[in-house]
Amino acid sequence: QGVLVESGGGLVQPGGSLRLSCAASKMTLPLYDVAWYRQAPGKQRELVASISAGGHESYLDAVQGRFTASRDNAKNLISLRMDHLTSEDTGVYYCNAKSTLMKLDYWGQGTLVTVSS
């Protein structure tokens, strides 16, 4: 069973930057599509960014150009660089690893990002 652990969340001022990390273990990360999701209070969880096992990146329109996802398969790490943050970016951010082939889907516990002055 795979395990994902997020870190890097916290309080940041509007316009600031933050980098989230997700450590994967008990899984072979190169076999998985990875993604970052977020959930704001009172709203549905939404897909923020994804990177397929083949390296294709995709981003939510609202974060396009501001957020950059990356993966380091050798180190079993998934990252999300967030720049020019606004209050609308506030929420709990979750990392995800999914293999359609193996029918496996793993989630981290989440890390809270609060954008406020």
pLDDT tier for residue 73 given thresholds of 50, 70 and 90: confident
Distance CA 104, CA 98 (A): 6
**Could you tell me which residue, 23 or 1, shows the higher pLDDT?**
23
**pLDDT tens, 12-53?**
999 999 999 999 999 999 999 999 999 999 999 999 999 999
Report whether pLDDT(1) > 90: no
Distance CA 95, CA 117 (A): 26
**pLDDT tens, 88-115?**
999 999 999 999 999 999 999 999 999 9
Report whether pLDDT(6) > 90: yes
| Strand 10-12 versus strand 111-115 pairing type | parallel
Q: Are the CB atoms for 115 and 17 separated by under 8 Å?
A: no
Q: Alpha carbon of 91 to those of 5, 67, 85: distances in Å?
A: 17, 15, 12
